[in-house]
Each structure stands twice: as structure tokens, then as C-alpha cells.
Chains A and B, each alone.
Chain A
Amino acid sequence: MVGDSYSRELVIRHPHVFDPATGLDGIMDVRLSSGRIAEVGEGLRGPRELDADGLHLFPGFVDIHAHWRTPGREDEEDIQSGSAAAAAGGFTGVVMMPNTDPIVDRPVVVSGLVSRVERESRVRARVSAALHVGLAGERLTEMRLLKQAGAFCVSDDGLGTASAGVLRNGMLYARSAQLPVILHCEDHTLATGVVHDGVAASLAGLPGSPASAEDAATATALILAAETGAKVHITHVSTALSAALVGFLRGRADVTADTTPHHLTLTEDLVSTLEGLYRVNPPLRPEHDRAGLELAVRDGVLDFVATDHAPHASEEKELPIEEAAPGFLGHETAFAALYTDLVLGSRLSLKRLVEAMSCAPGRWVGTGGSLAVGAPADLTLVDLSEEWTVGRGTLVSRSSNSPFLGRTLKGRVVGTIVGGEPVHDRTGAKFGARA
């Protein structure tokens, strides 16, 4: 469904073009042709035009961490609904995690998923295969055959990191297979609780997982990345110390890292509600961790943001927090939550936010993240002035487990274009064939 051959031309008129990658910043026109950015300038006209007065135009957002629950739990999300949610959040590229049923650990599962994505996804969706068979941290997957089948990277996300010796071989083999490794760093001998092992947990009498569960695993992963030379991405960093560790070892390893919109905006205080909705892994942390993550994103120690979009059926979330499934929706609220809390709160520049949502993850996946002439026309149009309240009715995802439900946010994605083709359109201008 996503192609670069979309031949129709489109001129987007008068948006505020804002792209940290090229330095573009101002009201101008953009011509899209044959799926690429053909021209950026003033006074551009064409047979098909979109009046984007008052809107901001960014390079398309890229989310390297999404659970579209396909195959196996299409009642929670499928490729159509997941990609629609991504497009609604302004994401033009996504990496799908392999902890599905069946797990994406065999070449035939990868090739099946890749061909389905080509038919069904509105955005560029890449498939992460498993690093270990069954995500079990024992036997390596056939990474070279997985890559030939179309896998973009490997990850045991959802389960934590294997023992150091096993992980080291996984990194070495992934390097030989020329596949990046996305790591969910969590030491299971420490992560025995359901929420952060902090004040809220102790008041509520909930079993806690200490920050060390993440920090120890992150340190191990970074050291092994440095030693093996593997290309490693550490996902959903949630503690200040883990972020600092990334900064400490960055120069010695081929490593990047992200944190999530929810870890940048929410804290363990929500645990005191005891609502299953707020269970997530890694857990919401204390304010000092949140503040540390914010600083790390500001300084570029954490390269980018990824949402860990994790849909769950209501019967898995409307439970006591100890019994609920961990995970939040992420695609549709990511930009607005970060813009409202961090940019409007004067804690993060819009430039750095767009870098963290578009440019840096775009570079990591190799497509997008720039409005340079000749680049794929993957774009996001945002109305920074629109206020909206997150509600079940506003969500495109098949699930509704957003921690921002009921929150009024500012800044809303009104148009998303992938390869020159509109895949999400709330502009009212009907610039695309599909809304």
C-alpha cells in the first residue's frame, strides 16, 4: 500500500515548514511529485493544492517501537488499525515488534508479515524479528534467513534481556547478520514486581520492581555492545541512571537509545489510583527519573522518542493493577502530549522535539526524517493551536488504553503523507483520496 510511485503531484501551500535536518524554518510552499519532495520555495502552484495556512509541516514522525498485535491478537490491533493510529499520530514509519502469536522468529512468519504490511499498512512498517527463538533467550534465531525474508532488525522486546553470555553471542551473531538489535533492558532476577519499587508502591502495598532491574541490564547491554561492535538500540529508557549510562558509553559503542512520551510526562504518582490502566513496563518512575529523561532528550543523550504503542483489550486493563496487562497506546497522543507538557512548558524546544520524533529515528531506520529535496515525501502536518481532549471517540486504534484519556492536549496532527500519498487527512481540504 505504501509506494514511492504515487505519481500525482501535490503542492502544499503556505505551511510553516519546520525541519531541523535541513534547517528549513518559515512559511513556504512544498511541491511533492512521484512520491518525493520535488521543490521547496515560494509561489509554487499546481493542479492540486492544499491550503496549509496556519499549519506546521514537519518531516514525518518515525516510531521504532510498536505492537500491532498481528498475528494473533487482531481483536486488540491489526495492521490496518495500527497503521491508521500511527498515521493519525503523524507517524509515517513504524517498526513492529515480534512478540506476537506466533512469535516472529521464523523466516516464514517474517515474509508473511512483510507481504501483509505491503498490502495493508498506511505507513512504512518494518518488521522486527526475534533475537532468540520464542523470545526465550536461549537459541539464536536464523537471523540471516530472517533478514533475507525481510526482517529489519531483531529484538526480544516484551521480555527482558537474556543472561550476559547469551546476549553477547546474540549481538555477535546479529552483527554478522548485519541486523540492528533493539533491546528491552530488564533483569528478571530484579524485576519481580508490577510497578516501580518506590513510594507509591510501598503505600499501596504493591510488589515493586526496582530501577536497578533496568539499570543493571542497561549497563550490561552497553558494555556488550561496546565489546561486540553490534549496532544496538536501547528502547524505552525509563530511569535517569540508565540515560546517564547511555551517555557514558555512547562513544565506545554503536548505540542509540530512546525513551517514551509517557515516561517523559507521567510519574509513579498514577500508581496510587491502583487502576490497571496505569500498569506499564518499564513502570512509571518517580519525578527525578522523569526529569532526568527530559534532560537527556534535551541534550541528545537519548537520541529519540518511541512510543511502545501497546494496545490491550479492555478486559486486560480494567483490572486491579497487579492483574492488568502492562502497556499503553502511544501513536496518537505522542506529539500532543510532548508538545503540551514539554514544549509549551518551556522545557524542550520544538526543534529538539521534531528531531527526536522525526529526524533521529528517521536516520535510524534509513528513510525519512528530512524535508530535503529528493527525499521521500513522508510528511506530517500539525495544527499547533488546536486543543483536543483525548477520548475513546478520538482514538483510531482498536484499543483505548491510553494513559492520557480525558486529558486536554494542545497540538494536533491534521494530515499525514507517506510517499506523497495522504494517509491521514483532517485538514478539511480533501487533499487526499483517503481520509
Chain B
Amino acid sequence: METRSFLTLEDVGREDIREILDLARAFAEGRVRDALEGKTVCLAFFEASTRTAVSFELAASRSGAHVISLSEKGSAIAKGESLIDTVVTLDRLGADAIVLRHQASGAAALASRHTSAPVINAGDGCGQHPTQALLDLYALCEALGGLEGLQGRRAAIVGDVLHSRVARSVIPAFLQAGMEVALVAPRTLLPPDGGAFDLPVLSSVDEALEWSADVLYMLRLQKERMTGARIPSVAEYARFYSVSRRHLESGALVMHPGPVNRGVEISGDVVLDASSLIPDQVASGVCVRSAVLALSTGAAQSIAA
């Protein structure tokens, strides 16, 4: 059975995305069950996580996999074992897939070079968070009528692009889906000149709506970045880069990978508004991650067969 690691969205094409989203829908609708029966999925989280860890655990267990969770606490990770030694150990113990969350960019790729089991990147530093971007696409497709419904839509990615692994996965995902993407952030939170993305840079949520954004994708501002070096104050940040109720009149959809800083990226009364896809994003995580696990482990081939 052919296996493949799932590390980044940078090189994933439109048809690959369609395949994953279709399979995810099959999982969601119950057309596929127990696809991972007999598989062992190891969750190796070197960095704290709530929703991603729970989501992967449910995605694996509901599909019939045996799940082993390693967290920072109570495992060799806490004892200072190296990344490579940990994943090699899991590999030799017979894992069929290793889901890795790590604080350093490139960790998943490094791990994958030392294992025979596929490695699924559950977030590496400021690098990539590919399953997040896929669940975002899934939720958007549900809202806008499938992948075709995304064609030509405009998404504004708002906030700390510079330090965001979510942005680095969401941007290529949205572009593959045929969307137009703009970045909305002060230049202290952007790669130089928008970086390799070569996207328009806008200076406020208001400007994003003038640009006719259909989607406002809000990034989390880390607490330690809220005052001082890159952002003068939460007040100024919120004034220009926060979504509030008045922005919803445009009909734009609001997304956020969570966890939300209410009153910073999004005013509190918007988080659970009808315009907000945030709960749908979370809900989409399980079926999308089941699909990714099935494709990575090769289990999807037997479904097709």
C-alpha cells in the first residue's frame, strides 16, 4: 500500500485538494466508515494544542484506528529526547502514521526523512499547518457551493502573517481554489514586501471590504506581540485590523483558525454570528483529517478498490 507524508500545501495541486475534500465529505456523510481499521496512528505533539490534537484523535479513532497520544508531559519528549529519536522510536514500534506538532519550522519534513511511516504535519513553527487550510477550504466549500463556488472569490488574510503557519498554508490553498488573496497587516507583521506571496497589501479591514473581500480570514495575534515592538497597542490594532459588527453588512464571511482573542482580532459579538464560519471550521476538522489520514496511510486506496 502506497503511503505518503503530508507536510505542506505549497506543492498540493487543485486536483489533490479536490480528492481530499471529496473523501472528507464521504467521511462526513458516513459513506466511508472504519477506513483506518487496524492502523495505529501516533500523535506526537511537541507543542501544546487543544483543537488540533482532539480533532486528529477523533478523526483517527472514529475511523477505526488505534490512537496513541504523546504529549510534552509524561513522555520521552519531556525527558529531552530529540525529535528524530522520538519519531524513529514511534516508527519502529509500528506506527502507521505519525501526526506531528512541533515548535520549529521544517520539523515535519525532517521527521519524515527518518521514518517509513508517513508523517502528517499538524503544525510546524511558523512554517505550515496544511490540515488547517484544508478544513478551512472544506468549510468554505460548504458555505459557497463547492470548490467551483470559490472560483474568483476574494479572501483577505488579516493579521500576523509573518508568524503564521496557518497563513503559509491557507494562502496556497486559497490560490489553488482559484481565489484572489490579499494580505491585511502592518508591515511589521508581514514578510518583506509581502514576501514570496507577491500579493496585494491592504491597510485595514475597511480597505479589505472596499477591495470587495468575500472572506475575512482573521489570524491570531499572539499575546507577546500585542504591545511594543511590532504593534503599538491593542487599541490601534483593533481599530484597523479587527472585525466588528459594522463590517458584516457587506456580507463577508468571517473565519479564524482559533483560538480567538475576542476584542483583538474579532469583536466578541461577531465570533458566533451567522456570518462567522468559525464553528464550521472546527466541525470540518474531523472529516478532513480522517481523509488526510486515509490518503497518507494508503487506506484510501482500499476504499476506492
Contacts and interface: CB of A to CB of B under 8 A. Distances in A.
B235 A142 contact: yes
Nearest to B192: A227
B265 to A, nearest CB: 17
A140 B232 contact: yes
Contacts of A169: 188, 229-230
B198 to A, nearest CB: 15
Interface string A158-175: 000000001001001101
20 contacts: A133-B232, A138-B228, A138-B229, A139-B228, A139-B229, A139-B232, A140-B188, A140-B228, A141-B232, A142-B232, A143-B236, A144-B240, A145-B236, A145-B239, A169-B188, A169-B230, A173-B186, A173-B232, A176-B188, A229-B193
B163 interface: no
Interface string B176-215: 0000000000111000110000000001000000000000
B231 interface: yes
Interface of A: 133, 138-145, 166, 169, 172-173, 175-177, 227-229
Given A169-B229, A169-B230, A142 B186 contact: no
A372 B229 CA distance: 44
In this complex, the member of A139, A140, A142, A166 whose beta carbon has the largest number of chain B beta carbons within 10 angstroms is: A140
B78 to A, nearest CB: 33
A141 B228 CA distance: 9
A172 B239 contact: no
9 A-B pairs with the lowest CB-CB distances in the bound complex, closest first = A172-B187, A176-B186, A140-B232, A142-B236, A142-B232, A139-B228, A176-B187, A172-B188, A173-B188
Interface in B223-241: 227-233, 235-236, 239-240
Nearest to B229: A169
Given A172-B186, A172-B188, 4 more contacts: A139-B229, A140-B232, A144-B240, A173-B187
Interface of B: 186-188, 192-193, 203, 227-233, 235-236, 239-240
B187 A175 contact: yes
B259 to A, nearest CB: 25
Nearest to A174: B187
B195 to A, nearest CB: 13
Nearest to B236: A142
Contacts of A175: 187
B230 A139 contact: no
Contacts of A229: 193
Given A172-B186, A176-B203, A228-B187, A140 B239 contact: no
Contacts of B240: 144
Nearest to B193: A229
A138 B192 CA distance: 21
A172 B191 CA distance: 11
B293 to A, nearest CB: 41
A144 B235 CA distance: 11
B192 A140 contact: no
B185 to A, nearest CB: 8
B230 A173 contact: yes
Contacts of B239: 144-145
Nearest to B204: A144
A151 to B, nearest CB: 13
Nearest to A138: B228
In this complex, the member of A141, A173, A175, A227 whose beta carbon has the largest number of chain B beta carbons within 10 angstroms is: A173
Nearest to A176: B186
A406 to B, nearest CB: 47
Contacts of A142: 232-233, 235-236
A140 B192 CA distance: 19
A175 B189 CA distance: 12
Contacts of A145: 235-236, 239
A391 to B, nearest CB: 46
Contacts of A138: 228-229
A139 B226 CA distance: 11
A176 B202 CA distance: 9
A284 B240 CA distance: 44
A373 to B, nearest CB: 36
A81 B235 CA distance: 36
A138 B232 CA distance: 10
A139 B186 contact: no
Contacts of A228: 187
Contacts of B233: 142
A428 B31 CA distance: 97
Nearest to A171: B187
Contacts of B227: 139
Contacts of B203: 176
Given A173-B188, A227-B192, A229-B193, A140 B235 contact: no
Contacts of B228: 138-140
Nearest to B233: A142
Contacts of A172: 186-188
Nearest to B239: A145
A133 B233 CA distance: 11
Contacts of A143: 232, 236
Contacts of A140: 188, 228-232
A225 B229 CA distance: 17
A228 B191 CA distance: 11
A177 B185 CA distance: 11
A212 to B, nearest CB: 27
Nearest to A178: B203
Contacts of B192: 227
Nearest to B230: A169
A37 to B, nearest CB: 35
A228 B188 CA distance: 10
Nearest to B228: A139
A142 B235 CA distance: 9
B30 to A, nearest CB: 48
Nearest to A140: B232
Nearest to B186: A176
A103 to B, nearest CB: 14
A144 B205 CA distance: 14
B50 to A, nearest CB: 31
In this complex, the member of B232, B235, B240 whose beta carbon has the largest number of chain A beta carbons within 10 angstroms is: B232
A144 B236 contact: yes
A175 B203 CA distance: 11
Contacts of A173: 186-188, 230, 232
Nearest to B203: A176
